[in-house]
Chains A and B, each alone.
Chain A
Amino acid sequence: MNRMTILGIETSCDETAAAVVRGSAGGPADILSNIVFSQFDEHAPYGGVVPEIAARAHIERLDAIVGEALSVAGIALKDVDGVAATAGPGLIGGVIVGLMTAKGLAAAAGKPFVPINHLEGHALSVRLTEAVAFPYLLLLVSGGHCQLINVAGVGRYEVLGSTIDDAVGEAFDKTAKLLGLGFPGGPAVEAVAERGDPRRFLLPAPLKGRSNCDFSFSGLKTAVRRAAEQAGTLSPQDVSDLCASFQAAVSASLLDRTARAFDKFTARFADAPMQLVVAGGVAANQALRARFGELCEARGAALFVPPPRLCTDNGAMIAWAGLERLSQEGSEGGGERLDAPPRARWPLTELKAT
């Protein structure tokens, strides 16, 4: 299979990101550069003046990020085999900036452009760093995403469940806020929970027992609040116990939903080895990871968790999805893709295999 070099751009929410990835479909691949603005050395392209750029002003940042991605990768734009960019879902203003800049770059370089669904970027990202064959079950858990997906191939996704209200990351952040802990909430709650008794407060594991694979965490938020009120003035131990109980409830719910998804996976892919990929910022929670490890061991399943820098929004996963798609589709149809629309909403289930 031919190795390809793809420039990927991501601007659908908070992060302005670009990356260059080189490899062949199936992975793993070389990440030649992975630049995200929030971790970028802001001084370099602005000649030492630190700019105050409003959050999500992607059009101010993207040129410099793209330049840095190419420079760190040691290549020029003409050396890429394609340019990929998130075309949705997300904040439409940001999506437009990444999408149209990428179209301009591709047209100028005379290379194919590939529009990418942000969720597909997450779904395929594990293959960037590990040789994971299709099919696999993906649990995507972050501040903004909470989905269980059967990934059968590029463009072949079955959403088994998603959140009906709050995502997991959001539940952690709001619990942290309720209990007066710092930001970001996830690590704060996890740290404090280590010293806590997870059985002290009986918090409901939402939707546990339901036969579908959906998630719900807003009720848990209310339960934490009520438990905190009933406990009166909270000592540090009270807070630790509440966090531990909260984390245990989240775990129980996630595991229950995932275990049901395992059943659906095996029903669908009877001969395939069971593989679980847990991606998204919440996957960094070690206590959760340990629980997933236990579940996978009990079910004889392999567990994969991509590295944190590929779990938060980034350009490398977009470049990678672009590479996988371009490998399948070939570069005909490049002109048609230049008319790809920006989409605020773009359900994963609308994607097709090529």
Chain B
Amino acid sequence: MNILGLDTAHSACSAALLVDGKLAAHRFELMRVGHAERLMGQISEVLEGAGRKYSDLDRIACTIGPGTFTGTRIALSAARGLAIGLRIPVIGVTTFEALAAAMSGEGVRVAVFDAKRGELYLQAFAGDALAPLTAPEALTIKAAAQRINGLGRDDLTIGGTGAELLQSALAGKGVLSEASPVPEARFVAQLAVMRDAPSSPPSPLYLRPPDADLPPPTSLKFT
């Protein structure tokens, strides 16, 4: 199975190609801005690097957030456009899953992003199987620490742009991951290997800020 993985949800732009399920080419560039300009170039470079064409793709994997408002839409819109043209599915992967997939070991993997204004995006998983231990959430730093403490585990690895903030709030508990604090497309692509294709394309994941009493932006249920 040939899978194109994409991510622009945070301060990096990356594309990766799996050929027959194995990583064949990838690009990863840190950038605060410029994703919309650079992404298509990265995609053609990874295809060319692996000697493949767009028509060789079987599916596209893309992060859906949480992340920046503009970043989550850049790769996802490109993925959906490619998918229409190639008549292939888009598999959505959260930035939490992408981060956790980059970590290693059987302990707890805490994926946490700095959402600014004293807030964090947070989700914790267990081991290689990435079994979710918490739901994806937007929380104050204090509430995030409570959530993690509430797991009652001492085998914590913490990764993401909010890792240091969370670790301080945990009074130094847990180990900071050595993986990239922002998602990488090669892990996004890898996660899509075993997933079922959804019947409709994924949408951006919007986590409500704490205390905002608001219905989700769309009430259309995608199966």
Contact = CB atoms under 8 A, between A and B. Distances in A.
A and B touch in the complex (CB under 8 A): yes
A289 B67 CA distance: 48
Interface string A61-92: 01100110000000001000000000000001
A49 B220 CA distance: 8
Contacts of A179: none
A272 to B, nearest CB: 38
A316 interface: no
Contacts of A52: 218-220
A339 interface: yes
Given A53-B220, A60-B220, A107-B54, A67 B84 contact: yes
B150 interface: no
A33 to B, nearest CB: 16
B141 to A, nearest CB: 27
B70 A63 contact: no
Interface size class of chain B, counting residues whose CB lies under 8 Å from the partner chain: 20 to 34
B133 to A, nearest CB: 30
Interface in B56-74: 69-70, 73-74
Q: Interface majority SS on A: helix, strand, loop or mixed?
A: helix
A97 to B, nearest CB: 5
A135 B77 CA distance: 37
Interface stretch (A98-106, A143-151, A244-252, A273-281): A98-106
Q: Interface majority SS on B: helix, strand, loop or mixed?
A: helix
A289 to B, nearest CB: 39
B73 A109 contact: no
Contacts of B43: 107
Interface size class of chain A, counting residues whose CB lies under 8 Å from the partner chain: 35 or more
Interface in B30-63: 34, 36-41, 43-44, 54
A49 B222 CA distance: 11
Nearest to B216: A54
B165 interface: no
Given A63-B201, A104-B80, A339-B37, A51 B85 contact: no
A52 B43 CA distance: 34
A26 interface: no
Nearest to A78: B85
15 contacts: A57-B218, A60-B218, A63-B201, A93-B73, A96-B36, A96-B70, A96-B77, A100-B74, A101-B77, A101-B84, A104-B78, A105-B84, A107-B54, A107-B82, A108-B82
Given A59-B204, A92-B70, 14 more contacts: A54-B218, A59-B77, A63-B80, A67-B84, A96-B36, A96-B77, A99-B36, A99-B77, A100-B39, A101-B78, A105-B84, A107-B40, A338-B41, A339-B41
